């Protein structure tokens, strides 16, 4: 059986420090323990360390907090228990379903297995930093580690706000640097080839509308007829079609990525495409008869009126891109292509920001501050004319 013997002295104020020696499996080891009383509850708490000096410093900090009114009683729950409380109480009623599912998955798959058994009150920056370092060594991308930190930071931040923690230990963590992937929009010639390859494809109109509006995939799949104004040549983008991440998750119409709705004035050609789409959908409805079901009045549907599936739309796009030699092209590159084309054609950044649904113009500038080959050539041509004017007035 383990044996314990203690010796020590009273510390100044309301705390005490003593040395504790334990015997376990025939081996004897010692540590120092400081005890103090919570004046609000009368309960005693302890701090421990390898040396008397270390414990004395910890005890002084606790006593100073008590005297200054900033003391937070140690939480008895583990980090895993707190994450469950946070998810059920604070997350489930304040974020989109997809975001909630993402938070729950991050906690279950990554945070809980590594840190969940640690008491919330004893969780340190060093423990969290070592956790992130291990993930990086195991090959996880810096972006994924940053996302995990974002979830843990929010959870611990809430614990601080309600008094479960004194400070957020993620604040002092150093995260691996995330290098932004260079966007690769399709140039004008590429767009021409892409549109030619689309002719007769089942998603021809969907892809073409995306190229000329810059909508996100979820936004174009979630577009409904009540949000198409044929007279004013405008679209009202107020939702997106998304799938929850739960097993067997369902497709739902949720708010846009930023949570903000926006109007887009589109080219007459886009309206022409949508009119043709409406006629095609009516023909599909007549053929399907009683099997037709499109309660949300989605613009882009299958032959029976059902919503399209993200992965299928993406896969078909990749097949077309590969056939043209664009192995690395992504569906999102259609959005990038629209943005660059808009800037090339003379749209100001504020207009591009509004059409894309970015929160700020500075974000738009950050993403599209580069130049396409055509823009760079135009810049070089302007400089060439300037140089000739200077050298040969």
User: Predicted confidence band at 43 (pLDDT cuts at 50, 70, 90)?
Assistant: low
Model confidence pLDDT, tens digit, residues 248-263: 678 889 889 888 999 9
Per-residue confidence (pLDDT) for residue 246, from 0 to 100: 63
Per-residue confidence (pLDDT) for residue 370, from 0 to 100: 64
The better pLDDT of the pair 390, 116 is held by 116
DSSP 65-81: HHHHT---PPP-SBHHH
Q: Is the pLDDT of residue 117 over 80?
A: yes
Please give the backbone phi and psi of residue 52, each rounded to the nearest 5 degrees, phi first.
Answer: -65, -40
Per-residue confidence (pLDDT) for residue 148, from 0 to 100: 97
Which CATH architecture does the domain made up of 79-172 adopt?
A: Orthogonal Bundle (1.10)
Q: Average pLDDT of the chain?
A: 86
Going from the C-alpha of 386 to that of each of 251, 322, 372, 383, 391, the distances in angstroms are 56, 41, 21, 5, 9
Say what the pTM is. Answer: 0.66
Q: Which long-range contacts (CB under 8 A, 24 or more apart) does 180-184 make?
A: 182/370, 183/333, 183/336, 183/367, 183/368, 183/370, 184/328, 184/329, 184/333, 184/336
Ramachandran category for residue 164: left, alpha or beta (phi over 0 → left; psi -120 to 50 → alpha): alpha
Inter-residue contact 277 to 299 (CB < 8 Å) = yes
Model confidence pLDDT, tens digit, residues 56-75: 887 887 777 777 665 555 66
Q: Which of 194, 214, 337, 340 is nearest to 265 (CA)?
A: 214
Q: Is the pLDDT of residue 360 over 80?
A: yes
> Packing angle between helix 204-213 and helix 310-323, nearest 10 degrees?
80
**How far apart, in whole angstroms, are the C-alpha atoms of residue 245 and residue 115?**
23
195: buried, middle or exposed (CB in 10 Å: 19+, 13-18, 0-12)?
middle
Going from the C-alpha of 358 to that of each of 44, 125, 202, the distances in angstroms are 52, 34, 30
Lowest model confidence (mean pLDDT) among 101-105, 162-166, 258-262: 162-166
Per-residue confidence (pLDDT) for residue 378, from 0 to 100: 76
Give the total residue count for the chain: 393
Q: Is the pLDDT of residue 12 over 60?
A: no
Percent of the chain at pLDDT exceeding 90: 52
Class assignment of domain 188-377? mainly alpha
**Cβ atoms within 10 Å of 68's Cβ, excluding its own:** 8
Cβ contacts of 116 within 8 Å, gap of 6 or more: 78, 79, 80, 83
**How far apart, in whole angstroms, are the C-alpha atoms of residue 165 and residue 156?**
8
Please give the backbone phi and psi of residue 379, each rounded to the nearest 5 degrees, phi first.
Answer: -65, -45
């Amino acid at each position: 059986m383990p044996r314990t013997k203690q010796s020590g002295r009273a510390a100044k104020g309301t705390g005490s420090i003593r040395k504790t020696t334990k015997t376990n499996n025939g081996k004897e080891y010692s540590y120092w323990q400081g005890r103090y009383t919570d004046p609000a509850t009368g309960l005693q708490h302890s701090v421990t360390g390898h040396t008397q000096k270390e414990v004395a410093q910890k005890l002084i900090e606790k006593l100073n907090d008590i005297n200054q009114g900033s003391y937070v009683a140690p939480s008895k729950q583990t980090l895993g228990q707190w994450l469950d409380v946070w998810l059920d109480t604070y997350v489930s009623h304040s974020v989109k379903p997809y975001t909630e599912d993402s938070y729950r998955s991050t906690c279950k798959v990554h945070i809980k297995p590594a840190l969940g058994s640690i008491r919330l009150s004893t969780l340190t920056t060093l423990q969290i930093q070592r956790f992130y370092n291990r993930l990086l060594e195991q090959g996880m991308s810096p972006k994924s580690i940053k996302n995990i930190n974002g979830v843990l930071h929010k959870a611990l931040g809430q614990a601080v706000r309600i008094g479960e923690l004194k400070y957020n230990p993620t604040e002092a963590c150093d995260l691996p640097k995330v290098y932004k992937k260079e966007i690769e929009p399709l140039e004008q010639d590429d767009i021409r080839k892409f549109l030619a390859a689309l002719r007769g494809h089942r998603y021809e109109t969907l892809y073409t509308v995306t190229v000329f509006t810059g909508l996100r995939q979820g936004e174009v799949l979630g577009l409904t007829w009540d949000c198409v104004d044929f007279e004013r040549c405008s679209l009202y983008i107020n939702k997106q079609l998304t799938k929850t991440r739960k097993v067997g998750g369902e497709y739902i119409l949720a708010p846009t990525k930023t949570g903000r709705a926006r109007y887009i004035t589109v080219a007459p050609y886009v309206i022409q495409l949508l009119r043709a789409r409406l006629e095609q959908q009516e023909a599909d409805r007549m053929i399907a008869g009683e099997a037709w079901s499109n309660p949300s009045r989605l613009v882009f549907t299958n032959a029976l009126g059902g919503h399209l599936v993200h992965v299928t739309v993406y896969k078909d796009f990749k097949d077309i891109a590969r056939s043209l030699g664009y192995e690395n092209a992504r569906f999102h590159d259609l959005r990038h292509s629209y943005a660059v084309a808009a800037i090339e054609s003379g749209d100001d950044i504020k207009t591009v920001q509004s059409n894309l649904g970015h929160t700020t113009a500075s974000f738009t500038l950050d993403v599209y501050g580069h130049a396409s080959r055509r823009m760079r050539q135009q810049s070089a041509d302007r400089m060439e004319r300037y140089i000739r004017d200077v050298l040969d007035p």
